[in-house]
Each structure stands twice: as C-alpha cells, then as structure tokens.
Structure 1
C-alpha cells in the first residue's frame, strides 16, 4: 500500500481572491500608463490599490505558513497518541488517521491512503489482528461489525486472538462524518480479571476459614477490642444451649457472664458472684494455662489469647468425658491390685535392670514357679537363650529412652516342666517417684500358634485344591483367569507384550471312544506334562482350560518367543509319540494351537486375549489341525 506524506490536507482556495485582486490592479496600472497626464490621479490610486493587494498577499502568505505550522503540530499531536484515531467522511471513506490507528504490532505499522473505505481497513485489521469471537465465522462477524459501524452507539470491547483487548468508540458528527477511536485496554482488562480472581480467591479463603471454624471439634469465639462478640461457631452454641440465642455479634462478654451468674450456671461462683466476675475479667486473655471451667454439668478447657490487632480468640474444648474418665480412674486405683491378682494373663513388675519385683498368680501358673522363686530371677532368665539377646537389646533401648516407653515382642520360653512356650511380651516403662518401673504382661500364645500353624497348612491345602486341576495338577480355570487379569494389568502399566496359547488335543473324542475314558485321562496327563516341560520361566503359567483344552500364559513375551514355545510344545509331544490309531492326521496324538500376542491397550480387556486365541485356534483347525496360527493383538 502506498503511503501518503500526510493525510491532513489544508484548503488553498482562499489564495484565489488575493491573486485575482493583484492581477486586476496590474491590469489597471498598465492601462493607466497609456492615459494622458490628467489621469495621473487615477494612476496613483491604482498604485495604492496594488500596494494594498501586495500587503494582503503578504498577510495571506503568513496565514498560510501559520496554518502549515498548525497542521504540523496537529500531526505531531496525533502521532504521539497511544490510541488509534481515524476520521471517515459520510461515505465511510478515510479522511485522516494517526499512526497508532494502523499499528499492528511492535515491529510494523500500516497507514492507509485518504479515501480508503472502512470495510477495506477493517478486513486488513482482521487479517493482522484476528478477533477471538470472529474465529470460524469471520464473514458473519464482519457483517455484524459493519452494521454496528453504521449505527454507532456505546463504546465496546473486543478480544483479539493474541490475548489483547481493544476498546472501540465510534461517534457520528453533525455533517455525517465518523470519528473512530481504538485503544488498547489489555492491561486494564487483565488487571480487572486479576482483581476479580483475587476477590474470588479471598472469598473462597474466607469461606474455607468459616468452614474450618465450623468443622472444629471445639467451640470457637472471636471478640473485638471492646470485648464484643464478632463471631462464634455452632459447636460453641451447642456447648452452651441456654445461651445460644444470646451469642450474636455485638453481644458483650461481661453481659453474657452476668446472665450466666444470675441463672446459677457457674457453680464455682456461687455466693461470690461479683468477686468471681471481677477476677474473671482481670484474667481474661492473660492466662498462660488453659482454664478449667464447670458450666452447669459440663466441663471445658478454655484457651484465650489476644491477636496483634487487639482481638481476643477463645477456644473451648469440652472435656466432660475426660474429667469423668479421670474420676473413674481415680476410683479404680483402689481396685487395681485386686484386678491384677485375678487377671488371666501373667503380670510381672521389675526394676530398671530387669530384676523381678512382683508377679501375680497367673505368672506363677505360666512358668510353674512360685512368686518367691520368680523374685530370684530377672526377665532375661525366663526366656530361651536364643531370644535373650533380643530381650537384652529391647531392655537397653527402653532404659536409654526418656520418659514412659513401651514395646512388644514375641519370645520363646519354657515351663518348669520343660514344655516349650510361645509368649507375647508387652513391656512398659512407668515413671513414678523418681524411679522407673518395668511392667511386663505375658500372654501365652502356645495353643494359638499351634492352631495357626494347622490352619495355615489347611489353608494352603485348600488353596492348592481350589486353584489346581485334579486330573492334570495344572492350574485350573479359576487361577488362569485371575493370573490373566493380573498379567494383563501389569503389561498395561509396563508396556511389555503379553502372549497366550490356547492348545487343543486333535480328535480327542475319537481317542476316548477308541481307548476309553481312563486312557483319555492318562493321555491328558501326558499332554499336561509335555506342556509343563515346554515353558522355561517360573512366571509362565500352564493351565487346563476345560476338557482337552489347555492355556499357556506367557508374560513379557513377544510373538517370536511365543512361537518358539508353541514349536517346543509340538516337538515335545511328537517326541512323546502318544498313540492315536483313529487320528486322520497320523498314528500319534497332535495339537492345534491358537496364539494371541500384543501389547494391552487401555480400551481393551483381558478377556479379549482368550477370545483372540480361540479365534486363532478355530483357524488352525479349519486349516487342517496339527499347526499353530497366530493372532496379533492391536
């Protein structure tokens, strides 16, 4: 596009009157020179007129220079504007435009010739700065934009494809011309979006704060600098149901306490309510330790502290059950010795070195020793020699650890009669009176261990029976499906190939009909042995699928490896030379094998491997049997 030197053109028609006047005066002066002397006065007049005209021409030239200077300043003023400004005539043709109007990016700018139609400019702007909302509907958007241009209204904002936002303002003048103002408001829009996002994050943070306060297992209260309630959670209202309706923002703490005192809900203040209230207000927020308060029949621990801004935070934890438990523990201390003496488990106490200090009757029965005999031993002497180093190490760690500690371990010991015992030892260090006491609880696990061993053997036998085919002692169909699912998922994670061979004994019904079912069972066992010997890895699985069908599941095996296994199966069976007089394929038993191999895909399933192998087996039979047909998985 050709660039004009200036789109601002100054009108020059006002020079014509001055020029015409000068020419007329020169004509009059020339004619006066031919006149006789009586006409000298007229000549003088024409000279004066000429001088005036020359003066007028000088003035007009000065005005022209001033106008040129004004135009230059106007162009410079428009050039420094960041906003794009353009003026169109009533026919929608460009009159003038500043450089910012045609600026497309940071490297180049376009300036249009005077008279360029608005639609042409709009198309070029769209080509350089695509509008986000026009993507895929450019022509329709262009028509809508032209309609808005011909009927200008309020300013509007459009988003460009390069994440820029442009504010457009169009106004019609009285003579029908149009002023078009384009300004980049990306920073404003982005700042507004950032502010909206920050406001939303602040709202979410406040919501989460309120939710967290409401979810607290303790009562929460917040008071302002004048000790007026700002907020509290529902748990606090539940702790003080009689005051729930009064716990509203703005309520004064002193007023709430006075109402509780008047209702007699604070037993500690009865008879000295005024003094109690004064002391309570004095200590409020200044106690380093939580306050234990009884309100009605409920006990609570109150934590109060001031925030840096002068607000007071209170957290009330209901400890009624804890207080009742402590009271119950205190009541039970008197009965503790009776419980120990009648306990069914052995309880022994010892000093920090392990020397036994006391033993209950259950301990005497466990070891077959009287209490006086046990007092002459230490804990190490009660266990077998092989387990003594473990006990010594644990006792050492327990002695080195600070504070009350405990441990548990399983040890072997012996009864006085020599009977082997399996014991569970729970050892705790209790601090009291400046000394450490070891409390040892011993549970006899001998019978349970024997039962567990028998149960484990039974479970192993049951598991073997539930996952093993009774005839061939191969994995049964249940174990096959479980392992297939496991290997398929493992291969799906690792991306390794998975192979599956579905094996069928050719013409096995004729074999049964000719040799009998007992011979058929013996044949299946021989085939199972052949298949078992054809795999080399412990991770490979050979299973009986049903009837005369078998499955070889080969994890992390590609097509070539699976074909090698299938070839070994055929060769091993050929070497076994199992007689089959009625087989159309020859005098010996043969196999048809369907092979499925590939890498699992998330949209597939483990069952598809069996289905593909079955289809490959069907093709092997259709092609004459005694062969292997591969079916790749995709």
Structure 2
C-alpha cells in the first residue's frame, strides 16, 4: 500500500507543478492584456463576466493537465488539479460575477471533456459551484488582501476535502495532506505574485497620475486652481462620489469647492474649526481615515450634514504649506469601507507632491507679481549680455515690449558712452568673478527706445546655474528724485539767502557744560542791533541782551531746552520783539533750540489801534436799533442787546455758542445751510429778505434780515442784521388788500356791479388766445334792452337805473354758473363771452336770456315789443385763429343785434344765419 501511494505521489507531483507553471503563464498573459485593471479598477458587469470566462478557460486548461488518481491508489478514480486557484484568482479580479462565470465555464468544460454525467462529475460540479459562491462572496466582503486570500484558501480546502471524501471516502486522506500542502503553496505563490503585480501597477499608475497632475498644475494660473484640480483628480483616483476643499485659517475654515456625483461647484461658506471632526489630526499634518461611518464616524457639524446625505466612508487629506495645514481635501463615499489603509498609503505619497506644487505655485505667483509690477524694471541677462527676462516695469521704463526685448542685446538700453565700460566690466566679472557694481545700488543713465537718456538707479546681482552665468538687475527711474534733489539744493540756498536777508533774527543755541552757546545767527536784525554774525556765534546770551533781561532769557532758554515750545516778548532799545523758541529733538533728547526773533514794534502799535477800533465797533453795534448776529462755523460768537431782546432773551450768554440753525424753523434749515455755504464760498452778501426766526421761547418771529461775509478775529464769519417785521408785514398786507379791492372795483361797472367793458376786453383777448392755441370755438352775445329811452322818459332815470341793475343781475346769474362772462358794454347794452361754446349753444343761451328777462315782468307800457321789459340778442361764433385778433367776431355780433331790433325786438338773431 505504501509503495503504491509513493508511486501515486510520484505521478501526481510533476503534473501539479505543471499546473503551477500554467498558472504563472496565465498570470503573465493576463497582466499584459489587462495591466491597467489589476488594482482596484472599477469593472463593469460585462467586464467581470469576461474575466470570469478567461479564468474558467484557465480552469479547463488546468483540468487537461490534471492528475487522474487511479483506483490502485485510492480505491477509486478522481481528477486532481489547481482549478480552484483559478476560481480564487477570478474572485480577486471580479468578485462574485467573475467566480460564477468561471465556475460555469469549468463545469461545462469538465462535462465536455468527460463526455458523461456521473456521480463524480456531479460531486465535482457541486464543489466548483460552492467554491465559486464562497470565494466570490469573500472577495466582495473582506477588504484585507491577505485575510481574503486566507479565507478563500480555507474555503477551497474545505470544499476539496468534502468532495474527495465523498468520492474516495476515508482513502482520500492518503492524498489530501500532500494536495492541501501544494494547494497552499501554490495559493501563497499566486497571491504573492498578484500582490507584487498590484504593487507595481499601483506605483506605475500613481507615477502616471502624479506626472499628469503636475502637468495640470503647471498649466494652472493660481493656487485656487491647484485646489480645484486636486479635488477633481483625487475624486477620480479614489472613485469618490462626494468631495470638497476646505481652506483652514487660524480661527475658522472656509469652503472653496464642492463635488458631488461628478457635478462641480464653488463653495464660499465659513465654518468653525470644530465643524470637521478630524480637524485636530489634520492640523497636525496627518491623514484622517474613517473607513466605515456605521462603526465609527467624525462628529463635526459638517460631518453630520454629510452623514445625513448618505456618506458612509471618508478620507481627509491635509495640504501642507510652510509647515502648516492650509487646506483639506475631503473625499467621501456612500459605501462603507470604500476607503482603506491602501488609500491612506497612496495619499501619503501624494501629500509631498501637492505641498511642493503649492509652494512652487506660490513662489511663481510672487515672482510673477514682482515682474509684472509697473514701477521698477526687472531685467535678466545671460553671460552673453542677451536679455532673457523683461518685466512689465521694464516695458514702462524703456518702451520696448517683452517680445521686442527678450533675446535682444543688453546694449539697447545702455547709452553709447557707457557701452564700452559695460563690456569690460562683464569680461572682468566672467574672468575673475569680481565686479564693481555687483551687489550694490549705483546711479547711472538708461536709454529709452525713443533715444531719450534718463537717470536710473541700478541694483545688480549675478548667479550661476548649469555652468551659465546670469545677471539680474532692478532698475528704477530716478528722474523725479534727481529733480527733487536739485530743487532741495536750490531751496537750501534760497533758505540760506532768506535767513540772511530776512528782517528778523534766526538763532540756534546748545547747552554746553551748563552754559547756552549760540551756534548760528542770521538776519538783518543783527546789523540794526549793531552786531555781526561773528559776534554772536560761539557766545552766550549776555552778548545779545542787557543784564536786566538776562534772567528772563536764561529762564526761557532753559524751558525750551527741556522740550517746551514757547514765545515771549521783550524790549530792546525802545523796540518790541517776539522770540519763538522751538526745541529740536533726536532720540527723545533735545540737541539744539532754534530761536526766531521778530521785530513786532509796528505790529504792537497796530494791535493797540485794532483793539481800540474793535471797542468802537462793539459800542456802535450796541447802539444800532436792529439785531446783529455774528456766527462762525454756525456757532454764534457775537450778538448785540437788540438781538437778545428780539429773540426773547435776557442775557447774551443765552445766545453765545448756540447753533444759529436753532433760531430757524426746521422746514427752513436746508435753505439756511445753502445760504450760509454760498456766503462763505463767494464771500458775498444777501440783500434784505423776509424770514421767520424762532425766539428762545419757541414762538415764531417775522423779521427782515440781510447777511454778509465778514472777517472776525482773523477768520471768516457771517454777520446777519435783522429787524422785527411783524408790524410792517401787517401794514403791507393791508395795503395789498386795499389794492386788490381797488383792482376789483376798476374791473366792475359802477351801476350794475357786473364786469365793465374794460374787464370784458381783457377777458376777450385772453380767451381768444387760449382758444386759438387749441383751435376751440368761442362765442359772444350782444344784447340791448328794447325801447330803453322810452322807459326812462316814462318811468324816470332812477327806475331806469333799477331796471339796468335787475337785467344785469339776471344776466350774471345765468352766465356765471356756466363759466361765461357777463359785462355791461355801455348804456343799456350788455355783452356775454362764451368760451368753448359753438353757434347752437350761443343761440340757446341767447333764447334763455330773452325768456328770463321777459319773465321778470318789469312793466314797460311804451315798449314796441311787449308791455314788459324785453331784450334783443345778437350772437356770433367762430373757431379762434392765432392770426386774427378776433375783433370781427364782436362786429358780427353787433350786426346780428341790429338785425334782431329791425326784425321786431325781443328775439335772438345769430350772425350768418
């Protein structure tokens, strides 16, 4: 028995090694075909099934080289091979879809090879199916690589033991230890080989990813672009559905970008540092991993919001710049366990690259901002004196564009007299490494494109890279500075001349060993005092002042030496002088004092006269009957007694210092401010105007006020003179009222009280113009009391006047409600003006007048028409024309009236029909 077993093992072992060789060959071929899919590549279902079919084919191939154990060894017949390893490989590549497909291919291949379906086949097929289900499930649920392979090995070993025990019974244990050992060795070998291939592939893909990422970084414009690119690319690399960039500050963090399900958006929200649970770890520069949020998740405000949105796994990657975390790349997935230690190791390799690119982009940005500065020019040249960099400032200084300057010789900006010296200096520096202007700022001249030579300040440095010498220069246009220096020199000379020829005296003195010594003396006052400059410089105050005034000078000088600025007056030889002492300090200590002495004898006399003039002025304004206010910057500074009285005060102090707008009603504040502004700007005066002031008790006071700009105590101010206008306004209102009554009386007929002919003529001209502007109709009615002379002869003139009044009042009562004008035209004749009325309306209104007058029933026995007073009416209408004065309309009405009288009176006749 032992001999037969040994013979069987000798038969089995070479074939099993052949199985291992086939596995290795398949791995190499599979890697060549699918090298980019071996490490966590997201397969589609179709791809997984295709991979399973390939591995199933591998299993069939392994069966061809399998070992059939004969009955002489185990008392039965069975096929021993490594197709289970093919199943485990399929599980590693595509999970359950791959293992099921591979298992189906293997079972089908076994059936084709065997040609019959017996108990051994069914047992083997069941084992294959169980192994396919188990290894596929393990691949999808156990994340750890080695734990997964170990679990698959245990499962396959158990399945194989069960299958062989079913087929051979206890005889299977004769071959099982050897088979399981070789299976384990083969699995370890294949797993290690795959692990190595995965690592190589991951490194290759990571290097390719980094290379591509660097290319995108180089093409970006700013640091913010780097954040966006990093988020996009890492989301793709780690198959993350959710992500974001958060910028980290000292006290808070701010969102920059968001990505969710491939949709990218900007984010400007601000969060507290506690908003991200992993913040402490991240600020220390370490990656934070939360593989499965269902078991452990961060507890920040942002994290809770993401958890509610379905995030179950997250990876938080710090971006480090200058030793501190400046941003966080947050990646999330809705699948628990999506991120593992493998992603952490990948991210750890990326952090230095990302941090370096941040530093490079920041340096590039700073360099770009410097070179694009429009003030100083930056020029880089090589050892051949060819320009290799030309900044925006250089463009502005010399007039050459970057395209024109780069590649051109440096002498295009060097004036002709300096070119030979520049050439020799370059040769000397390249030969000896020494340069007279290297490393320091010198003043030279530059040459613009238009041929203009201008002064420049040049700061030159050199360095070498790759064995090539380069020179960098910062060039500043100092034209203005040179001009300023010349102006300063000129001003210094002018100041010296001014000090020497000025009327006063300028002294400088120091305190040397408790004694004041003059160090400078300039001014015409020296000669007036009978002194020379040499008499004062180096001497003490005793030289300048008398013994009587010496103590005063020494006291004041000591105060100035202690840092006090002061002025004092003194007298010499009958003149009055003013001394101003101004200490000059350096590093907190007085080093000298400048004394300016001016002759103020004349000014003192003027001031005395001015004081007397001001006193006379003050007395004068107190005697004026009008109120006077003087205010500067809207604050009252001077008032007289009359102003206090008019404004209801008792003392000047009640008004001094008050805002002048307090005396103006609120509705007039804006107008008052505008008037004050105009007075100040134009230094003008405002003539008397009626205004309303507010008394101190709040009552209004009607005044007449005028204002003007004045100089008060050396500054601009406004003086307002006002008087009580209450009585005057009342008298004027009465006068206006009387004039209005007179105007009305002049427009009315004295007898009848209605409008007279003058009033009618004015109204007619006005209405004609108005109607002509819009081409509107206008009508007039002329009417006459029939047989009025006979009425006067019969009843007397008093009765005639009464009749005229009654007819006039009737006419007015009919016209006024309609907007018409009734007027006495003369004697017993009246007229009516009908604006907007046409011929029909005029005729109807004329008939109304006839009937109404007749119905008055005023007796008239001598009337030729009726036994009562009647009227005859003539009407005329026209469309007003701006080219005509309209007098013909009245004439037409008069003719119509005449016709009405001829036709028997007491009737209406219209002109033209």
Fold shared by both chains (TM-score > 0.5): no
TM-score, normalised to structure 1, is 0.41
Higher relative contact order (CA 8 A, sep 6+): 1
- Which has the larger share of helix? 2
TM-score, normalised to structure 2, is 0.29
**Which structure's CA Rg is the greater one?**
2
